Structure 1
Amino acid sequence: MDSGQLIGIIIGVVVVLAIIVVAVMLSRKRKVEANRNKAVEMREQARTEEIGAREREAQAARAEADAKQAEVEAERLREEARERQQEAEQVRASTQEQLRKADELDPDVVTTEREAQSRDQLPAEAAGNGELRRDRSARNPSVPDQTPNPDGSQTTNSQIPQQPVRGDVPRTDNPHTDNPRNL
């Protein structure tokens, strides 16, 4: 080999090496630029995800507030239900007291107080059967129905003319024996 050929080979190798170095440098430059672009994209995505996370946190806070509001509303409704229950119990007690007073006034209904006062006058089976109230006519069916007069005398119901109840049908039943009120 000649020195000219040797110089040509060395120049060829140097040129190839220079091309390789330039290619590596350009490749690194592209890679650095690609990394910069990727970093920018990642930062933008992180910002978007952070905004999404804040929105989810805000939604969670709203849901928590709604749950607390629902608890407050439920407690208010429970309190309202308790108040209505107490009102209903008061009305029921008032109604029962009114019925008790009506029974005390009604001579056809025997209450436990009257029963205790007149036990000696009642038949043995009626005195101890434990009813709170009874219709006097149901207890003594053999006694004719009597209605007290203002002067204190008794009039049997057969002496009182019956009023028509529906149309021309005369009333023959006794309202006190149909449905005695028991508590």
Structure 2
Amino acid sequence: MNTTGWIVLIVVVVVVIIAIIAIALTVGRRRKQEHDREHAQELREAAREDDLAAREREAAASRAAADAKQAEVDAERRRREAEAHAAEAGEARAAVDEKLSRADKVDPDVRTDRDGNRIDDGRGSANDRAASDRAAADGADRGYDDRADDAVREPRHAEPRIDAGGPGGAGTTGDTDVPPPRPAR
């Protein structure tokens, strides 16, 4: 073979090698692009799911805020109702006090001062004693004596009973012997 044959052969081999390299690069690039497309699609799906979850959390937060606002409105309404009831109770109490004051003025057994306030001389009327006896009888059922004349009242038990197995555990004061609180007058 002559030199021209060798040159042609070398050129053909180089061209074939370059073609193989070009084909390999093109196929590799296409595979990478396809992989990147699949990865981008997966990222988009994840983003859609995250967006849906975020919107659900925003809706839940909005519902919670609306519930809190409704609770505030309800509390304000109940507060106003309580104030109205308290005002009505105050008016009823004032009416009762006025009636009692008028009754005291009319009753010859009740001594009052110039302003119509009752002066208690310790005797009291028969009606007052009967009412006191009824209140004491009611109070005895609840565990306290309302008939005592002194201002400081001793509880039924001067010292509480110590229960070893009470609700609070060993060595705690049992609340079974403690009288209930006195009702407000």
Same-fold status (TM-score > 0.5): yes
CA shift in 2, pair 1:39/1:114, >3 Å: closer
Higher Cα Rg: structure 1 or 2? 1
Q: Partner residue of 2:155?
A: none
How far apart are the structure 1 equivalents of 2:84 and 2:115?
Answer: 37
Q: Partner residue of 1:105?
A: 106
Q: Partner residue of 1:134?
A: 119
Q: Name whichever of 102-111 and 89-98 sits farther off.
A: 102-111
Q: Partner residue of 1:10?
A: 11
Contact 1:109 1:136 in 2 (8 A): no
Contact 2:113 2:119 in 1 (8 A): no
Q: Partner residue of 1:89?
A: 90
Partner SS, residue 62 of structure 1: helix
* Segments ≥4 residues shifted beyond 6 Å: none
Letter in 2 for 1:81: A
- Whose relative contact order is higher, 1 or 2, with alpha carbons under 8 Å and at least 6 apart? 1
Q: Partner residue of 2:26?
A: 25
How far apart are the structure 2 equivalents of 1:93 and 1:21?
Answer: 106
Using the TM superposition, give the Cα deviation of residue 40 of structure 1 relative to its aligned residue in structure 2, in angstroms. Answer: 2.0
Q: Partner residue of 1:80?
A: 81
| Long gaps (5+) in structure 2 | 127-148, 151-185
Percent sequence identity is 47
| Long gaps (5+) in structure 1 | 116-131, 139-146, 148-177
CA shift in 2, pair 1:94/1:45, >3 Å: same
Letter in 1 for 2:46: Q
Using the TM superposition, give the Cα deviation of residue 108 of structure 1 relative to its aligned residue in structure 2, in angstroms. Answer: 4.1
How far apart are the structure 1 equivalents of 2:36 and 2:120?
Answer: 103
Partner SS, residue 112 of structure 1: coil
Contact 1:111 1:134 in 2 (8 A): yes
How many residues were matched structurally? 125
Q: Partner residue of 1:58?
A: 59
Q: Partner residue of 1:42?
A: 43
Using the TM superposition, give the Cα deviation of residue 32 of structure 1 relative to its aligned residue in structure 2, in angstroms. Answer: 1.8
Letter in 1 for 2:120: D
Using the TM superposition, give the Cα deviation of residue 73 of structure 1 relative to its aligned residue in structure 2, in angstroms. Answer: 0.8
Per-residue CA distance 1:72-97 (angstroms, 9 max, x = gap): 21122112111221122122212322
How far apart are the structure 2 equivalents of 1:114 and 1:89?
Answer: 21
Per-residue CA distance 1:139-176 (angstroms, 9 max, x = gap): xxxxxxxx9xxxxxxxxxxxxxxxxxxxxxxxxxxxxx
Contact 1:108 1:135 in 2 (8 A): no
Using the TM superposition, give the Cα deviation of residue 22 of structure 1 relative to its aligned residue in structure 2, in angstroms. Answer: 0.7
Letter in 2 for 1:95: V
How far apart are the structure 2 equivalents of 1:33 and 1:10?
Answer: 34
Contact 1:108 1:137 in 2 (8 A): no
